[in-house]
Structure 1
Amino acid sequence: MTIEVGEKWVGIDDLVRVARTGESVLLAAGARARVVAARDVVMRLSTSGLPIYGLNSALGANTGAVLPEGDLEDYQRRAVRARAVAVGPAYERSSVRAMQFARVAGMARGGSGVSPDVLDACIALLNHQVHPVVPRFGSIGVADLPQLSHLALPLFGEGEAEFGGEVLSGSVALERAGLKPVKLGAKDGLALISANAATTARAALVLHDATAALNAWLAAVALGYEGFRANLSPLHPSAVAARPATGQVEVAKQLRALLKGSALLTPGSARRVQDPVSMRVVAQVHGAAQGMVDLARTQVEVELNSAADSPLVLADEGVMLSNGNFHVPALALALDACAIALAQCASMSVARCQRFMSPALTGLPLQLTRHGPAHSGFATVQKTLTALWAEIRLRANPGSLDYMPVSEGLEDHACMALGVAEKLDELVERVRYLIAIELLVSAQAVDLRELDETLMGEGARRTYRQVRDLVPVLDEDRPLGPDIDRVQRAVAAGLFDPAQT
């Protein structure tokens, strides 16, 4: 199913389909008309004598230096080459496709003034599965110039690209795909690279994964409630509605759905009058986290559907305006907030797992083993939990403040948005391991309690069976690391996300 850009609103789910399932892209007819009109303005102003940044005036610290009229096209190629300074390991295919899609969607809004032929070449590169080699490090969030320069090089036969599973020179990749190098005209180079498509793409993928992780986490929590025989009064609709803070009503509703049919919903069935705080405030903390993720998703979709170019071409007015729309602090701050919110959830997950080790709280055997002190059971997993929490806590530190002035002090503020997105991605990866451990601990508690499955909620029962299809109950001590890895891979694949069931 082809994704059309330039007219309809495109969302994160559209980007994920292009990035991870290989959907093709089509430029809407109305968008093409806007692109052509904007290009006419660029061509007229390029010879008007008016100094315009990036068109007939140089970039960066050279701002104000007039470009010779005969050099406008060559300057665009040099501008791309000179900014291809990203270093480090290359992004995987899905992230590159996401970047290609994000930049195409942005240029399709008609504000970049890109040549129609260049935009068509970008779409052809994506649809023919030619994926530029894009290194990870270099962007400071004032447009992703380094990454997008590497993304652009193969369009005119330079740089490197992956095609058919092989990394080739840009020219060879084009040839094998049956494509020809495109000629850059005035402003085309700047249109390709002066954007935040790398940040938008990576943030979209990370937030998609964070949403799935939060859903799987609730499945683990519901299973834990069954194993603990928790008091479910904190999930009562009237209780959460009495102070409807961000997300808590919806999260409580999700947990109640997972526990539908559970004996725990019968009054007087809970073992304790009041459980540990980490079990009582899941709706509040996870609701806040989901709220932060939703806010960040909104910011990403604003970027996907905006013309954030500078200078911006306003075809109806016949002008090009220098502006600050290349700056994405709202997105960077939202991503930082997501990291902090997920860390809050992580600290509670560690606490819940730790509480399961204590017979005084659970009425279950010490360290969740029925064989007594001669066996370790889940005891040493507490070290893994602590290590993961430290890794998550480190990545919850705000990254949007870590900038330094560049370009002779002209660029004296940055939001480091791409780095913030990458930091969040690393955090989500570690969160999935926590979810895996919580699933294993909760399933072990269900087994040790010899709980009749018919007394469990529908969703919790499904989750329990999914865990046991992957990993048997822990009886004799065995290496638990491989078990955790196996369940983590299933979490990453979406097995425990009720939204994908």
Structure 2
Amino acid sequence: MLGEGRLAVSNVVAAARGAHVRLAPTVMERLHRARGVVERIAASDRPVYGLTTGLGAAVDTRLEAADLAAFQRRAVNARAVGVGEPASEEEVRAMLVVRLAGICQGASGISPAFATVLEGLLNAGIVPQVRRTGTLGEADLSPLAQAMLPLVGGGTAVFRGEALPGPEALRRAGLVAPDFGAKDGIALLNSNAFGVGIACLALHDADLALEALTAAGALSLEAFRANLSPFEPRLVALRPAPGQAAAAERILGLLAGSDLLEAGAARRVQDPLSYRCLAPVHGVAAERLAEALRCVEADLNGAGDSPAVLVGTGEMASTVGFDTTAIALSLEGLGQALSHAAALAAFRAVKLMSPAVSDLPRFLTPLGGTRTGFATVQKTISALESEIRHLAQPVGALSVPVADGVEDYAPMTPRVAEKTRELARRLAALAAVELVVAAQAVDLRGGIRLGQGTGAAHRFVRSRIAFLDEDRPLGGEIHELSEAILAGALREALAR
């Protein structure tokens, strides 16, 4: 339900993937009160940005009273400048959910009928075509304008699997576009809903991928017969890095019941750093993920409109509620942290294949040197780690001012969110690879009593991917495992 209670990233993801959307009973009253403020000020002679003046560099242009409504329709058409590949259906739906949630806060001053039609559009399954390149992250005007084109008689939208002219999609769904009034166009567009919507999807994927990578790391500890002293609470407490204690506790929880916890089970006094540093690296990644969630959910539960309506005092004023620098930087920090976790995973998996380090058959094949085993999977590991490391590089702020220099800064949040999601999906694939490699190593080691969580992870792999004896194509199997991780199947297995 939108407009009542706190909206979470998980709510946006569920709606983006088809869950029904419903406006809270209190929303319409809130919107009507704010609309009254807009109509009163629009009828006065007071200059208000985007209401009685032009937009951007045209802020010095006063609008004629008779042109207020037409100007708002033109604002939508003029900002539909996106190019490149279309955003996916769930990305567009996430954007629309985020914008509708912002409208429900009551600061936009939009005509209430627009909230109703957006609710209807989402529940009917209409997905406007939105090309992703053309926004800088200080209000996602271009993608939102493209999504709203059906409301001004244009655009293209998919309805029940068919691409249709926007107005035809509305007609078939039994929806009628409301008449535009003062401020309605800018109220639809003045939001960071595209970048924030994709950020919700990215954080959802990153959370599942990091959980899977932690389980894979714990299973690798079992397969390697690693020394667990770096995870002992007494030793962690000597100098706990941010998140390290919690991560060490999670890993020991996965290992609960394992014979690796018994004295003398470890093969070495000290292991490679990719094994020893699992807790501090995953700990800081979890901290960065939590920070990014806080930043995104603050936006989901706020109103970034400018100008914003203050119903209590009957005012309208310009704001910078559309600035998403905090979100962009939190996502960049998350990407960097996940790239470090990816590097450890790559090193662990490769070391399990080396008999000199692991005391296991070369490339984990039981059939000897005439078989390839997991040798060529190392290329997949290296490619994934390299791509993750590249995607973790920062985008940086806007470098070319626009709108005649008025808009001379932007955090580029949409692109940061996009690349964070690309990174998270590759991380899930890398976690799938390490899970498969570690499961093979466990089976070759033999005679191991796995922990409760690591045992569940091993069963998760084996229920989908058989032990590798004779060489076979593994790429498709690993991809399916990665998709299962992103669908939440491993999380369910670990929770049983």
- Calculate the TM-score normalised by the size of structure 1: 0.96
Match of 1:311 among 283, 291, 307: 307
Identical-residue share of aligned pairs (%):
45
Match of 2:200 in 1: 204
**2:156 touches 2:165 (CA, 8 Å); kept in 1?**
yes
Shift of 1:239: 2.5
Distance across 1 between alignment mates of 2:217 and 2:481: 15
The residue type paired with residue 86 of structure 1 is G
Match of 2:397 among 380, 395, 401: 401
- Is 1:458 aligned with 2:452? yes
Match of 2:17 in 1: 20
The runs of at least 4 aligned residues of structure 1 exceeding 6 Å deviation read none
Match of 1:120 among 106, 111, 116: 116
The residue type paired with residue 398 of structure 1 is P
Match of 2:66 among 65, 70, 74: 70
**2:205 touches 2:425 (CA, 8 Å); kept in 1?**
no
- Is 1:227 aligned with 2:218? no
Match of 2:341 in 1: 345
Q: Deviations over 1:321-357 (max 9, x none)?
A: 1121111100000111111111001111111112112
Distance across 1 between alignment mates of 2:321 and 2:480: 44
SS at structure 1 position matched to 2:158: strand
SS at structure 1 position matched to 2:163: strand
**2:75 touches 2:185 (CA, 8 Å); kept in 1?**
yes
Match of 1:87 in 2: 83
Shift of 1:451: 2.9
The residue type paired with residue 62 of structure 1 is A
**1:56 touches 1:72 (CA, 8 Å); kept in 2?**
yes
Shift of 1:461: 1.3
Match of 2:280 among 278, 284, 307: 284
Distance across 2 between alignment mates of 1:335 and 1:117: 35
The residue type paired with residue 209 of structure 2 is A
Shift of 1:293: 1.0
Shift of 1:468: 1.5
**Alpha-carbon distance change, 295 to 28 in structure 1, aligned in 2, over 3 angstroms:** farther
Match of 1:181 in 2: 177
Mean Cα deviation higher: 478-487 or 271-280? 478-487
Match of 1:257 among 242, 247, 253: 253
**1:122 touches 1:155 (CA, 8 Å); kept in 2?**
no
Shift of 1:372: 2.9
Distance across 2 between alignment mates of 1:226 and 1:132: 49
Match of 1:410 among 406, 420, 425: 406
**1:392 touches 1:430 (CA, 8 Å); kept in 2?**
yes
Distance across 2 between alignment mates of 1:197 and 1:275: 46
The residue type paired with residue 308 of structure 1 is G
Taking the TM superposition and a 5 Å limit, the aligned residue runs for 1:279-428 are 279-428=275-424
Taking the TM superposition and a 5 Å limit, the aligned residue runs for 1:476-491 are 476-491=470-485
Distance across 2 between alignment mates of 1:393 and 1:65: 47
Shift of 1:8: 1.2
Match of 2:488 in 1: 494
Shift of 1:60: 1.4
**1:112 touches 1:191 (CA, 8 Å); kept in 2?**
yes
Q: Deviations over 1:238-296 (max 9, x none)?
A: 22333333222222222122111100111221111111111111111011111111111
Match of 2:439 in 1: 443
The residue type paired with residue 322 of structure 1 is S
Distance across 1 between alignment mates of 2:443 and 2:277: 25
**2:208 touches 2:428 (CA, 8 Å); kept in 1?**
no
SS at structure 2 position matched to 1:374: coil
- Is 1:131 aligned with 2:127? yes
* Count, aligned residues: 495
Distance across 2 between alignment mates of 1:163 and 1:479: 38
**2:398 touches 2:409 (CA, 8 Å); kept in 1?**
no
Shift of 1:93: 2.0
Distance across 2 between alignment mates of 1:223 and 1:9: 37
Match of 1:150 in 2: 146
**2:209 touches 2:425 (CA, 8 Å); kept in 1?**
no
Structure 1 unaligned segments of length 5 or more: list them: none
Taking the TM superposition and a 5 Å limit, the aligned residue runs for 1:164-175 are 164-175=160-171
Shift of 1:90: 1.9
**2:136 touches 2:398 (CA, 8 Å); kept in 1?**
no
Match of 1:469 among 444, 463, 468: 463
Shift of 1:317: 1.5
Distance across 2 between alignment mates of 1:334 and 1:124: 33
Q: Give the alignment's Cα RMSD to 1 decimal.
A: 1.5
Match of 1:7 in 2: 4
- Is 1:106 aligned with 2:102? yes
